[in-house]
């Protein structure tokens, strides 16, 4: 059986860094969000950002963790160019919490993934590999904007048996982290170290994989690599590997160091922290968990379970969007159907998030009203929403620009005449009893009118016309 465990680093969306007041945000300019503390200058002293502790505790509540009464920070010593102090401030002996779990749904079966621990640590600076990858760059540059950014590390037990299970877990975890407002996928980074082992072999650790696709390829490659070593009678050594996204393979970085090599010592510049008041604060301010939101959407808005689940599983912004629209629009069922139906489909197709799409609740409700008042057909609505997602132009504006107002009966009749003239065979078929042909003729009218003809009126007029012919 394959055993897979994860060490996930998520950047907490705090306002400032973990131990100084520099901004915790990306910048196009390198080394601008820096100060003596996050540059690791001698004599500078770290100051804890309490927001990071509270957010890590919220993650702990979400992952059903046992909290430590007290926690403290340790120095993990190693030399690497991204770490000017030669040690990283992290947690070792007493982290935020241990022994939790998170449930995932694997093809209808609920599986419990045990969480070993979570702790808080600072991110090192960013190394930019110029002219190649980590294994063959010409030289490297260092950007300290990332140095001191607060990370929460979530360590699982090796409870996963396949890359599919890992992906299900990661998607759910990242969605939940956004719902409890400690992480923002648009601003925060995440990455994973993936441990993989198969029977009769040692585990290998693949460092810093930062995409779902990467996780899947890295695990699948690693399983095959280890199996083929064992099949050939070689030993699978304990080692640290790097995932190469351009070849979809893993490459040896170093043979695995033991924890003792890091020489952890207590961080003398920070006190230990009693957690009880932080836990109380986080419990009091804990946002709704997704399960609770689903229940509420069903109860409050009478949504179907399916629609409620889809709304919640995606970006939390969808729930917010739905609720904002709800205030202005009565038919909640129709509203949710359009959001999880055509809006989702168009966003997926164009690989856009709701945030990037410039879709506003006001305009979206206006769009639904246009259909309700029969100013546009549903069919035209489906066309307009595609453009709305793509270009960010609200449907009413699109309609006016393209002169897509619904046609009058007389105008529809004119088009029907043309369609009848152009399709004598279908007309003949219809009159000989093949009534289904009328759908084809209606389709032709829709094409010619860019769906500005009301389909019901078109059908009535066509039937009448065909009968009298």
Instruction: Give the nearest distance from C-beta 278 to Zn ion in angstroms.
Output: 23
| Among the residue ranges 22-30, 109-117, 202-210, 411-419, the one whose residues contact Zn ion (CB under 5 A) | 22-30
Instruction: Give the nearest distance from C-beta 89 to Zn ion in angstroms.
Output: 13
Of the pair 116, 146, the CB lying nearest Zn ion is at 146
Instruction: Give the nearest distance from C-beta 67 to Zn ion in angstroms.
Output: 28
Instruction: Give the nearest distance from C-beta 36 to Zn ion in angstroms.
Output: 7
Site for Zn ion in 187-206 (CB under 5 A): none
35 near Zn ion, rule: CB under 5 A = yes
**Helices and strands, number each (H, E), in the chain:** 16, 16
Of the pair 40, 214, the CB lying nearest Zn ion is at 40
Q: How far apart are CA 383 and CA 342, in angstroms?
A: 10
Site for Zn ion in 101-130 (CB under 5 A): none
One-character DSSP codes across 214-282: HHHHHHHHHHHHHHHHHHTT-----EEEEEETTTTEEEEEEEPPPGGGG--EE-TTS--EE-HHHHHHH
One-character DSSP codes across 347-397: HHHTT--TTTTT--HHHHHHHHHHHHTTSS-HHHHHHHHHHHHHH---HHH
Q: How far apart are CA 462 and CA 465, in angstroms?
A: 5
Instruction: Give the nearest distance from C-beta 144 to Zn ion in angstroms.
Output: 8
| Among the residue ranges 16-24, 51-59, 358-366, 413-421, the one whose residues contact Zn ion (CB under 5 A) | 16-24
Q: Contact at 8 Å (CB) between 8 and 157?
A: no
Instruction: Give the nearest distance from C-beta 22 to Zn ion in angstroms.
Output: 3
56 near Zn ion, rule: CB under 5 A = no
Q: Which two tokens stand for residue 387?
A: 């453009």
How is residue 460 annotated by DSSP? H
359 near Zn ion, rule: CB under 5 A = no
Instruction: Give the nearest distance from C-beta 2 to Zn ion in angstroms.
Output: 42
Strands 190-197 and 66-67: unpaired
Of the pair 39, 286, the CB lying nearest Zn ion is at 39
- Exposure string for 201-225, b = 16+ CB within 10 A, e = fewer: bebbbbbebeeeebbbbbbebbbeb
| Among the residue ranges 28-36, 47-55, 234-242, 324-332, the one whose residues contact Zn ion (CB under 5 A) | 28-36
Please select the residue that binds Zn ion; options are 4, 20, 406, 407, rule is CB under 5 A. Answer: 20
Phi first, then psi: what are they for 422, rounded to 5°? -80, -15
38 near Zn ion, rule: CB under 5 A = yes
| Among the residue ranges 18-26, 81-89, 358-366, 417-425, the one whose residues contact Zn ion (CB under 5 A) | 18-26
Of the pair 33, 326, the CB lying nearest Zn ion is at 33
Site size with Zn ion, rule: CB under 5 A: 5
| Among the residue ranges 36-44, 126-134, 156-164, 165-173, the one whose residues contact Zn ion (CB under 5 A) | 36-44
Reported in sequence order, the residue ranges of 123-187 that DSSP labels E, i.e. its strands, are 126-130, 139-143, 150-156
22 near Zn ion, rule: CB under 5 A = yes
Closest CA to 86 of 124, 134, 45: 124
Of the pair 38, 359, the CB lying nearest Zn ion is at 38
Instruction: Give the nearest distance from C-beta 122 to Zn ion in angstroms.
Output: 10
Q: How far apart are CA 108 and CA 463, in angstroms?
A: 49
Chain contacts with Zn ion (rule: CB under 5 A)? 20, 22, 35, 37-38
């Amino acid at each position: 059986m394959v055993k897979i465990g994860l060490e996930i680093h998520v950047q907490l969306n705090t306002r400032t860094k973990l131990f100084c007041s520099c901004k915790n945000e990306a910048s196009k300019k390198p080394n601008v969000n820096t100060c003596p503390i996050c540059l690791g200058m001698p004599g500078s002293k770290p100051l804890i950002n309490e927001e990071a502790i509270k957010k890590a505790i919220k993650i702990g509540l979400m992952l059903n963790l046992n909290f430590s009464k007290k926690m403290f920070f340790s120095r993990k010593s190693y030399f690497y160019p991204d770490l000017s102090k030669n040690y990283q401030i992290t947690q070792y002996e007493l982290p935020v919490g241990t022994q939790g779990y998170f449930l995932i749904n694997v093809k209808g079966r609920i599986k419990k993934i045990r969480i070993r621990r979570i702790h808080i640590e600072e991110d090192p600076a960013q190394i930019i590999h110029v002219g190649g990858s980590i294994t063959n760059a010409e030289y490297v540059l260092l950007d300290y904007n990332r140095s001191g950014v607060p990370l929460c590390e979530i360590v699982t037990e090796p409870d996963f048996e396949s890359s599919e299970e890992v992906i299900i877990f990661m998607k759910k975890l990242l969605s939940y982290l956004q719902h409890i407002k400690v992480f923002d996928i648009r601003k925060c980074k995440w990455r994973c170290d993936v441990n993989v082992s198969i029977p009769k072999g040692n585990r290998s650790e693949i460092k810093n994989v930062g995409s779902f696709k990467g996780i899947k390829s890295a695990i699948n490659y690693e399983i095959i690599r280890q199996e083929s070593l064992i099949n050939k009678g070689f030993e699978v050594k304990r080692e640290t590997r790097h995932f190469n996204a351009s070849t979809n393979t893993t490459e040896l970085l170093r043979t695995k160091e033991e924890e003792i090599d890091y020489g952890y010592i207590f961080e003398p510049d920070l006190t230990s922290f009693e957690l009880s008041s932080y836990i109380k604060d986080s419990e009091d301010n804990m946002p709704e968990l997704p399960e609770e939101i689903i229940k509420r959407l069903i109860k409050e808005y009478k949504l179907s379970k399916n629609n409620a689940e889809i709304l919640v599983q995606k970006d939390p912004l969808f729930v917010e969007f739905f609720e904002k629209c709800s205030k202005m629009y009565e038919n909640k069922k129709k509203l949710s159907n359009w959001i999880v139906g055509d809006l989702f489909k168009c966003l997926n197709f164009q690989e856009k998030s709701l945030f990037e799409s410039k879709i506003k609740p006001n305009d979206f409700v206006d769009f639904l009203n246009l259909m309700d008042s029969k100013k546009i057909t549903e069919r035209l609505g489906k066309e307009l929403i595609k453009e709305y997602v793509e270009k960010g132009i609200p449907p009413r504006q699109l309609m006016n620009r393209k002169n897509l107002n619904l046609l009058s009966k007389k105008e529809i009749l004119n088009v029907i005449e043309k369609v009848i003239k152009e399709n004598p065979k279908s007309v003949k078929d219809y009159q000989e009893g093949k009534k289904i042909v009328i759908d084809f003729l209606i389709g032709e009218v829709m094409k010619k009118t860019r769906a500005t003809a009301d389909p019901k009126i078109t059908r009535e007029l066509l039937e009448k016309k065909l009968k009298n012919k």
